[in-house]
């Protein structure tokens, strides 16, 4: 019942008036806007805001009622813990039990930035925020607007991605509006985010650090700083009995509504195969996930580009493209594979989840 609580509560939630604010790199916030947003957070309300990865849905992470509101607004099971966002390293010692040298090293290199670290939690952090766990995930975002907001609020901000549970993470304020308008107090519109995929998560509570979610900061980058690091064996999805350690990674997630199949292999063969598969559906019922370079090559179907292979913008565009298929109302999607791209580990992890691990390898 406790797991269902968020879902049931959200169905009964009263519609509220969501206020929209602006932030941009050149002008920052208007002073009175920042004060208003900080007050909403201090009073236990919810504010969605941009980070360098995806938009987050923020609330006071030390206030259990605020965390409950986050679960309810997202329709998220309350056993799926939230990440605490801080604006300065000094704030870390208040919310964790111990900071090991390996954590110091990682923070020195990658904070502020798209890296989340998992520690044993201190007593101040409520179990509502950690989904009942003894550990807490912490991140110091690089995005200036995010850090200013956290600092103004004066508390660690719990912020999952600002989407309804199960939908792709938002990379624009419009995506947030689609999912959460009327359910939260405020949204900060800071334009399109830079990275487009959620932060890398590293668990530091085991002897050898473990990557629980791949992201912009790759295993190689982490290894170059701390030496040994492992991938969570539950991530590969190849063995259904081995569950991922991050509770959120076990859900079918990031998913468009249509059934999706990914084709991997020699690029010419992939394109031929997608054309052939698409031809047995009505053109407006079949979606094709392609790239800037290949979008013109499919004569039949609703072709959506995730970004450019040449310019390495697939990560940025992937979630927006998945949302586009929902708007088009296609019934089935065929996707190119991005396993040869830069940062492919993070991109393929999200794409495979969107496809429910449904991938066809065309090479022998
Ligand atoms: O880039 C990001 O990390 C974004 C932005 C807003 O910062 N946030 C984000 O949060 O992606 P969310 O809630 O959508 O994903 C958090 C993931 C979930 O898979 C959750 O299960 C995992 O982190 N997680 C959080 N606390 C954990 C813990 N103590 N142990 C293991 N996994 C944890
Ligand atoms: Mg999320």
pLDDT digits (tens, 9 = 90+) for 190-227: 999 999 999 999 999 999 999 999 999 999 999 999 99
- What would the mean pLDDT of 89-107 be, rounded to a whole number? 97
pLDDT at 94 exceeding the cut of 50: yes
pLDDT for residue 100 is more than 50: yes
pLDDT of residue 318: 97
101 burial type by CB count under 10 A (0-12 exposed, 13-18 middle, 19+ buried) = exposed
Q: Of the ligands numbered here, which is closest to the C-alpha atom of 198?
A: 1
What does the alpha-carbon distance between residue 64 and residue 54 come to, in Å, rounded to a whole number?
A: 24
Distances (CA, A) of 82 to 69, 159, 280: 12, 6, 43
As a whole number of angstroms, the distance between CA 197 and CA 136 comes to 21
State in Å: Cα 206 to ligand 2 middle: 24
Report the residue among 161, 245, 250 best suited for mutation to probe ligand 1: largest number of ligand atoms under 8 A from its CB. Answer: 161
pLDDT > 90: percent of the chain = 86
Query: 268 C-alpha to center of ligand 1: Å?
Result: 37
Question: Closest by alpha carbon to 326, among 309, 308, 347, 302?
Answer: 302
User: Could you tell me if 69 and 183 are in contact, meaning their C-beta atoms sit under 8 angstroms apart?
Assistant: no
Closest atom of ligand 1 to CA, residue 161: 14
Which pLDDT does position 250 carry in this prediction? 76
- Per-residue pLDDT at 8: 53
Q: How many Å lie between the centroid of ligand 2 and the Cα of residue 161?
A: 4
Cα 161 to ligand 1 centroid, rounded to whole Å: 8
pLDDT exceeds 80 at position 249: yes
Beta partners for residue 211, in sequence order:
202, 231
Residue 1 has pLDDT above 60, yes or no: no
Nearest ligand 1 atom to alpha carbon 56: 6
What mean pLDDT is predicted for residues 277-291?
Answer: 97
User: In this predicted model, what pLDDT tens digit does every residue of 21-45 receive, in sequence order?
Assistant: 999 999 999 999 999 999 999 999 9
Note the pLDDT of residue 283: 96
Report how far ligand 2's centroid is from the alpha carbon of 228 (Å).
27
∠ Cα 66 72 77 (to 5°):
110
Let me know how long the chain is.
364
Contacts of 194 (CB under 8 A, 6+ apart): 52, 316
359-361 sheet: strands from edge to edge: 302-305, 286-290, 332-336, 259-264, 359-361
Question: Which of helix, strand or coil describes residue 186?
Answer: strand
- DSSP E strand stretches across 95-198: 115-120, 135-139, 157-158, 186-189
Q: Whose CA is nearest to atom 17 of ligand 1?
A: 248
Instruction: Please report, to the nearest 10 degrees, the dihedral formed by the alpha carbons of residues 37, 42, 48, 49 taken in order.
Output: 60
pLDDT recorded at residue 110: 98
Q: Assess whether pLDDT exceeds 70 at residue 13.
A: no
- The secondary structure element, H or E, covering residue 274 is helix 267-279
Ligand 1 pocket residues where CB is under 6 Å? 51, 53-54, 56, 80-83, 116, 118, 130, 133, 135-137, 139, 159-161, 198-199, 201, 212, 245-249
> What's the confidence (pLDDT) of residue 12?
56
Residue nearest to atom 25 of ligand 1 (CA): 81
Percent with pLDDT over 70 in the chain: 95
Q: Determine which of 90-99, 195-204, 280-289, 336-345 has the lowest per-residue pLDDT on average.
A: 336-345
Mutate to test the pocket of ligand 1, among 201, 235, 249, 315 (most ligand atoms within 8 A of CB): 201
Ligand 2 mean position to 187 CA, how many Å? 17
Provide the pLDDT for residue 248: 86
Query: Is the pLDDT confidence value at 118 over 90?
Result: yes
Q: What is the pLDDT of residue 226?
A: 97
| Summary mean pLDDT of the chain | 94
pLDDT at position 9? 54
Q: Please enumerate in sequence order all residues whose Cβ is within 8 A of that of 214, keeping only pairs 6 or more positions apart, or say none.
A: 200, 231, 235, 345, 346, 349
Provide φ and ψ at 302, rounded to 5°.
-90, 105
Give pLDDT tens digits for 120-136: 999 999 999 999 999 99
For residue 11, pLDDT beyond 90: no
Report the C-alpha gap between 250 and 244 in whole angstroms. 6
Provide the pLDDT for residue 5. Answer: 54
Whose CA is closest to atom 22 on ligand 1?
A: 246
Tell me the whole-structure pTM to 2 decimals. Answer: 0.94
Query: Rounded to a whole number, what is the distance in angstroms from the first to the last CA of the chain?
Result: 48
Over residues 148-190, the pLDDT tens digits come to 999 999 999 999 999 999 899 999 999 999 999 999 999 999 9
Taking the centre of ligand 2 as the mean of its atom positions, its distance from the CA of residue 196, in whole angstroms, is: 12
Whether residue 2 has pLDDT greater than 50: no
b/e per residue 152-169 (b: at least 16 CB within 10 A): bbebbbbbbbbbebebbb
Residue 341 is predicted with a pLDDT of: 87
Distance 66 CA to ligand 2 centre (A): 17
| C-alpha R_g of the chain | 20
The two beta strands, 56-60 and 157-158, are antiparallel
Asked if the model's pLDDT at residue 321 lies above 90, the reply is yes
The ligand whose atoms approach the alpha carbon of 139 most closely is: 1
- Hey, whose CA ends up nearest to atom 7 of ligand 1? 56
């Amino acid at each position: 019942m406790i797991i269902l609580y968020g879902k049931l509560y959200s169905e009964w939630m009263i519609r509220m008036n969501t206020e929209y604010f602006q932030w941009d790199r050149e002008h920052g916030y208007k002073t009175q806007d920042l004060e208003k947003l900080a007050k909403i957070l201090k009073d236990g309300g919810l504010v969605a805001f941009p980070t360098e990865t995806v938009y987050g849905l923020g609330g006071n992470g030390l206030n259990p009622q605020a965390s409950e509101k986050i679960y309810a607004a997202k329709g998220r099971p309350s056993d799926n813990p939230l990440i605490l966002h801080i604006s300065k390293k000094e704030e870390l010692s208040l919310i964790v039990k111990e900071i090991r040298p390996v954590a110091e090293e990682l923070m020195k290199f990658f904070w502020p930035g798209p890296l989340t670290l998992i520690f044993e939690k201190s007593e101040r952090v409520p179990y509502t925020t950690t989904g009942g766990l003894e550990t807490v995930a912490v991140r110091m975002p690089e995005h200036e607007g995010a850090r200013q907001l956290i600092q103004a609020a004066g508390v660690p901000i719990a912020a999952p991605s600002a989407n309804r549970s199960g939908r792709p993470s938002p990379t624009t304020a419009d995506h947030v509006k689609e999912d959460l308008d009327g359910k939260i107090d405020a949204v900060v519109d800071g334009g399109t985010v830079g990275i487009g995929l959620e932060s890398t998560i590293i668990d530091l509570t085991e002897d050898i650090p473990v990557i629980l979610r791949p992201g912009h900061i790759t295993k190689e980058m982490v290894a170059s700083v701390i030496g040994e690091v492992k991938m969570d064996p539950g991530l590969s999805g190849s063995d259904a009995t081995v569950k991922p350690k991050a509770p959120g990674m076990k859900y079918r997630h990031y998913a468009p509504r249509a059934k999706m199949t990914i084709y991997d292999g020699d690029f010419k063969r992939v394109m031929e195969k997608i054309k052939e598969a698409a031809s047995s559906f009505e053109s407006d019922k079949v979606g094709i996930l392609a790239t800037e370079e290949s979008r013109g090559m499919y004569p039949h179907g609703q072709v959506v580009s995730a970004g450019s292979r040449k310019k390495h913008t697939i990560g940025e565009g992937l979630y927006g493209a998945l949302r586009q298929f929902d708007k088009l109302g296609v019934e089935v999607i065929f996707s190119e594979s991005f396993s040869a791209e830069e940062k492919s580990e993070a991109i393929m992890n999200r794409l495979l989840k969107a496809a429910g691990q449904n991938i066809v390898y065309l090479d022998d």
